[in-house]
Chain A
Amino acid sequence: MLVNAITWLLQRISAALLLVVLGLHLWLLYVANPAEIIQFSEAKARLVTGSYVTIYVLLLLFGLFHALNGLYTVMVDTGLRARLVTISILVILGVTLFGVGLYSVVQFIM
């Protein structure tokens, strides 16, 4: 029961946080950014600043958690029995994807 209650709560918290960081992302890209066409060079320039990197790392973290937790919930809805194995696979997948995303962002700073 604890896992169910906590994952339900975290799904809602991550959704609320996603709204904040996704809103920031859209605002930075389409409102604060004066350029009509998004250029790679400008994106590269933005991603060297700490605040931008923080926003994108958080977006990655909340987005991945929300998506994988949602996927797990759908699988349980349809009668998943091997839960521990599935959770383990999803955790490994999440950590790997987060690592790949983090590596990509860090490349801009290096």
Chain B
Amino acid sequence: MSSREINAKIFRYDPEVDAEPRFDEFKVPLIDNMAVLDVVMHVQNYIDKTLAFRCSCRIGMCGSCAMYINGKPRLACRTQVKSLGTNNITIMPLPNLPIIRDLATDMEPFFEKWKKIKPYYVGKSELTEPAVIRPDSGEREFIDQMLDCITCGCCYGACSMVATNEDYIGPAALNRAYTLIADKRDAIRIERINVVGRSYGVWRCHDQFNCAEVCPKKLVPTKSIQQLKKRCVLQKFGIFK
């Protein structure tokens, strides 16, 4: 194989047709600053039009193109081929999610759990004036760090606890819950605490940091989950209200 050529080994599986998954290999010309998304696009455009994958924004904003690239969940659009350090690329669908076809996974289990924590802000109805929270307050700074989630599912795919138990809410939803529970203006903090404090909520996280390792936005959901555990205990002792 020439150094100007990529050997892409791509996972292929159509659950409605194929008895078993397989890998197809494709030779793709290497272009400067090429991302893994460009590789799968090249395959689909010029070699095999039946290859299925999901993508949208191409700038790391929408979180659609998360794939398992060379043994790690990553955003295909933000992963430069050069950064992988090899021209041999193995691309698989995101783990821990059902496969629709080839590299496209069904995100429904992920978003069902996302919905459980009510991922939207609920304001206190008795407030007539906007609450004043200084942007430089410690509390605000910690929430801000965790707000950039694009729901790509990389953390969910990397989490060994989700792999062990599909009922576990998972790092993304718990991280989102934390940003709302830590917000003093939120009206349903206790309701949220009760959801994340259930058996398959925060207690299933064992601080392995798989989520933090793969997050394309450099978030650390483990840190949020630890904060949630602390708040669950404090709430049980009547300290957190």
Interface of A, secondary structure class, is helix
Q: List residues of chain B with CB within 8 A of the CB of A42.
A: none
In the complex, A110 has a CB within 8 A of chain B: no
Closest B residue by C-beta to A3: B199
In the complex, B119 has a CB within 8 A of chain A: no
Contact indicator B198/A77 (Cβ below 8 Å): no
Contact indicator A4/B197 (Cβ below 8 Å): yes
In the complex, A67 has a CB within 8 A of chain B: no
In the complex, A51 has a CB within 8 A of chain B: no
Complex interface bits, A5-16 against B, C-beta within 8 A gives 1, otherwise 0: 110110000000
Contact indicator A5/B199 (Cβ below 8 Å): no
Q: By the criterion of a CB under 8 Å from any partner CB, how many residues of chain A are at the interface?
A: 12
Contact indicator B165/A4 (Cβ below 8 Å): no
Contact indicator B198/A78 (Cβ below 8 Å): no
Closest A residue by C-beta to B203: A4
Contact indicator B164/A77 (Cβ below 8 Å): yes
Q: List residues of chain A with CB within 8 A of the CB of B165.
A: 77-79
The CA of A2 and the CA of B197, in the complex, are separated in Å by: 9
Which range holds the interface residue count of chain B? Answer: 10 to 19
Q: List residues of chain A with CB within 8 A of the CB of B197.
A: 1, 4-5
In the complex, B56 has a CB within 8 A of chain A: no
How far, in Å, is B227 (CB) from chain A's closest CB?
13
The CA of A5 and the CA of B196, in the complex, are separated in Å by: 11
In the complex, B72 has a CB within 8 A of chain A: no
The CA of A6 and the CA of B164, in the complex, are separated in Å by: 23
Contact indicator A8/B167 (Cβ below 8 Å): no
23 A-B pairs (CB sep. < 8 Å): A1-B194, A1-B197, A1-B232, A1-B236, A2-B236, A4-B197, A4-B198, A4-B232, A5-B197, A5-B203, A5-B229, A5-B233, A6-B233, A6-B236, A8-B203, A8-B229, A76-B199, A76-B203, A77-B161, A77-B204, A78-B165, A79-B164, A79-B165
